[in-house]
Amino acid sequence: MPTEEAQAWFGAVYHAVQKVPLGRVTSYGHIARLIGYPERPRQVGVALKHLPSADGNSRMNDNTVPWQRVVNSKGGISPRGPDGARRQAEALRREGVQVDSNSMGELSVALEVYGWFPAELDDESDGA
């Protein structure tokens, strides 16, 4: 049983992820900043890793939380398991998000097309 602090953190992460609209993507760092803990992007990944199944009774589950819209700062899908990244790419494509794969099999979102959400947190203006 996690501590109440941890529960609050998890809930905050899930809630923030739910704010990401369909067809857009965000990064772990963005979620962390939105919550108010810009130095813990890693714990965002931890929270998503422990995201409850849709079968459970939890209001926050992999069916209500668009975990697939969260990628790393490079726009790539971090390889957590053999099929994990592939499943995420599929879910994103299903939403209309373009996901490219290089010769090494690494999957990445076409940020130059979709950009980040929210865009206001991006202080730099490179691509465009």
Nearest residue (CB) to DNA, 39 versus 120? 39
Task: State in angstroms the smallest separation of the CB of 127 from DNA.
Answer: 11
Distance CA 27, CA 76 (A): 9
Long-range contacts of 117-121 (CB under 8 A, 24+ apart): 117/20, 117/21, 117/24, 117/25, 117/26, 117/30, 117/69, 118/26, 118/30, 118/34, 121/30, 121/33, 121/34
Q: Which residues bind DNA (CB under 7 A)?
A: 2-3, 5-6, 9, 27-29, 32, 39-51, 62, 67, 72-74, 78, 80-81, 84, 88
What is the DSSP code (8-state) at residue 9? H
Task: State in angstroms the smallest separation of the CB of 112 from DNA.
Answer: 14
Nearest residue (CB) to DNA, 27 versus 117? 27
Task: State in angstroms the smallest separation of the CB of 113 from DNA.
Answer: 18
Nearest residue (CB) to DNA, 21 versus 38? 38
